[in-house]
Structure 1
Amino acid sequence: MSETADLRLIEKICWYYYCDGMTQQNIAKLLGLSRLKVIKLLEEGRQKGIVSFYITRLDNNKLDLEKKLIEKYNLENAYVVPEPENSKNITESLARAACSYVNLRLTNDSVINIGYGKTLSLAFNYLASESQCNWTAVSLTGGVNNYLPNARSDIFKAKMYLYPAPLLMNSKELCDKLCEHPDLAWIKRMASTSSMTLFSAGGLDEHATVIEQGLFDRSDFIYLKRLGAVGDILGHFINKNGEIVDKDIDSRLISTSLDTLKNMPQTIMVAGGSEKLQIITAALAKGLCKVLITTEKTAENLM
């Protein structure tokens, strides 16, 4: 975990304890940490000079944004990262933040569900390389290449259980038949044992993962927009009310259903950027996540 991410967590704990008057036990429960970890980080806060007569206005603003997100969307937690100077770096920033957030909560033999997309692929690689625990990753969708280690993952410590299938099939009949295969059924059972679930949100712009990987093209996106789509979650294209816009496309997906996703424990959405604001809002309104990791500007626009 980076020093910056570590300091952010210490700042948050100090704020909750000294300014909000929360107990150490309640802070531990809120952040998914042990009480001993909270005590240790409070002591580090004192040693590092984070605890003073005031908390800087910048940090105050971030904490305030996180509290407002939690209250408005009935979340268990929110983590707001600084807005990158270059919007092209949003994916990297969010992936790093997701890695830090999950890494603090990993234990040996944890099972983590991983969704589809560039941000989570990068976060997965960081986490699998940096974690000191023995843990297991389970894919939530088809599309094997999205989950494979990249060149920067020199030490890949996670076990992987992946759907041996593409994300989108040619027909519903072929999709249904493949989903009956024992290997796919077993992966679904593994996903149900998870302690955390990470997923992202896909916008309807030319840089969307499903376009870059050739599953859809721009004309498909024009069609989906005309149906009211604001983006996709795990390949499911939904409107602002969280409703599937094209049942034919949806019936051909090798993917976890949104109803199943909603009922999974500790669901964490990792997404940010102006092009994803509508789909993030729709996912939050539908109650798909319990934790949101996003950028400062996105958080402000969600208020």
Structure 2
Amino acid sequence: MAGSEKRPRRTKFQSDQDELKLRAAYLYYVEGLTQEQVAQHLDISRIKALRLLAATREDGTVQITINSQAESLIRLQRNLEKHLGLTEAIVVPASSQDEESVAAVVGHATGRYISEQVTNGLSIGVGWGATLQVCMRSLIWREVDDMTVISLLGGLTHATAHNPSAVAWRFAEFYRTELYQITAPVFVPDRELADALWKQDDLKQLYERARAVDIALLSVGDVGTQASIFRRGILNWSDAKSLKDAGAVGDVLCHFVDADGNVLDHPVNHRAMAINPADISRVPKVIISSGGLRKIHAIRAGIAATNAKLLITDVAAAQALLELPPLEQAS
């Protein structure tokens, strides 16, 4: 037609290059071959394979999309990291806000994550809670040498499956490694006894070990009627009321903290045979594993109290945390 532009005719070389590019893209993006395998399959150099794959992205031959559900989770995680000053947030969907359902999914994700962190020579401090109990059932075995587990809390004189020190014991047993325990009840009758116990050489040494761990794995509790620490009779309901009246929003390692993560000057805290959360704020990696809408204030306070850089939680809690004031952490 008159006035129409004539497209340049494609050469056989250009057609061959396009076909090669498409084949490379299919092998790499659809079949999942490595760049080296693509090069071998097409009988070209690895550099040429790399250039072909780069070209498919640049000219639109390959357009990458992310599953919408996965994309929304990633966006939620990134927003949470910025909002709470975290290095990493892991957010998992929970089918309901039932405590067992949330603990199951968050605990499972925690077990998978912490299993990847287990290495020779690692020292890890371990807290307690329903989520961490589930975490212990999701660990992946690997053989490690010279690893040390430190329980960050005392125990109960009447031992049960919910004994605060049991989580660390199970972790150490699973990986067949050394365990250091606080050989005292998690709460003693008065401050004087707690002070005297902490002066014992073995407990002083354990405290120093706890402050020097490579990783601290914790959960948090709230100050409500469903909180394990009250429901299981470790502390009584009058303690709960007194702590609430003093401004407590939750407990971190059996120390009750206010909304900004400050450990309260309260008689209950002075009786605790557990590591003070402020004393692990210099640990290189502090992980808080906790979920559920009722715990969001405790989670935020726990991050502030410990300078935690990694949070594992559920979607509903993550979304609710974004509605709370942002948190700036110490570097």
Aligned residue number for residue 78 of structure 2 = 67
Aligned residue number for residue 251 of structure 2 = 232
Aligned residue number for residue 45 of structure 1 = none
CA contact (8 A) 1:81 1:94 kept: yes
| 1:94 and 2:106 matched | yes
d(CA) in 2 for partners of 1:260, 1:227: 22
CA contact (8 A) 2:251 2:298 kept: yes
Specify the SS of the correspondent of 2:225. coil
Which of 84, 99, 113 is the matching residue for 2:125?
113
CA positional deviation for 1:165: 0.8
d(CA) in 1 for partners of 2:167, 2:222: 24
d(CA) in 2 for partners of 1:119, 1:234: 14
CA contact (8 A) 1:142 1:166 kept: yes
Structure 1 segments of 4+ aligned residues over 6 angstroms from their partners: none
CA contact (8 A) 1:121 1:146 kept: no
Aligned residue number for residue 217 of structure 2 = 198
- Unaligned runs of 5+ residues in structure 1 are 1-50
Q: Relative to 1, partners in 2 of residues 1:149 and 1:249: Cα closer, same or farther, differing over 3 Å?
A: closer
CA positional deviation for 1:170: 0.5
Aligned residue number for residue 258 of structure 1 = 277
Cα offsets for 1:33-62 (capped at 9, x unmatched): xxxxxxxxxxxxxxxxxx972110100011
Aligned residue number for residue 210 of structure 1 = 229
| 1:82 and 2:93 matched | yes
d(CA) in 2 for partners of 1:147, 1:172: 21
CA positional deviation for 1:131: 4.0
Aligned residue number for residue 104 of structure 1 = 116
CA contact (8 A) 1:149 1:156 kept: no
CA positional deviation for 1:286: 4.5
Letter in 1 for 2:106: L
d(CA) in 2 for partners of 1:108, 1:52: 42
CA positional deviation for 1:209: 2.2
Specify the SS of the correspondent of 2:175. coil
Letter in 2 for 1:233: V
d(CA) in 2 for partners of 1:130, 1:213: 31
State how many pairs are aligned: 251
d(CA) in 1 for partners of 2:214, 2:261: 25
d(CA) in 2 for partners of 1:107, 1:195: 11
Letter in 2 for 1:275: R
CA contact (8 A) 2:288 2:303 kept: no
Which of 148, 161, 172 is the matching residue for 2:166?
148
Letter in 2 for 1:157: Y
With 211-220 and 274-283 compared, the bigger mean Cα shift is at 211-220
CA positional deviation for 1:190: 2.4
CA positional deviation for 1:287: 5.7
CA contact (8 A) 2:152 2:253 kept: yes
Q: Relative to 1, partners in 2 of residues 1:130 and 1:73: Cα closer, same or farther, differing over 3 Å?
A: same
| 1:139 and 2:139 matched | no
Which of 188, 200, 213 is the matching residue for 1:169?
188
Percent of pairs identical after alignment? 28
Please identify the structure whose Cα radius of gyration is greater.
Answer: 2
Specify the SS of the correspondent of 2:221. coil
Aligned residue number for residue 261 of structure 2 = 242
d(CA) in 1 for partners of 2:136, 2:215: 13
Give the TM-score normalised by structure 1.
0.75
- Unaligned runs of 5+ residues in structure 2 are 1-61, 157-162, 323-331
d(CA) in 2 for partners of 1:291, 1:86: 22
Specify the SS of the correspondent of 1:137. strand
Q: Relative to 1, partners in 2 of residues 1:174 and 1:285: Cα closer, same or farther, differing over 3 Å?
A: closer
CA contact (8 A) 1:237 1:246 kept: no
d(CA) in 1 for partners of 2:227, 2:107: 16
Q: Relative to 1, partners in 2 of residues 1:215 and 1:171: Cα closer, same or farther, differing over 3 Å?
A: same
CA positional deviation for 1:246: 4.2
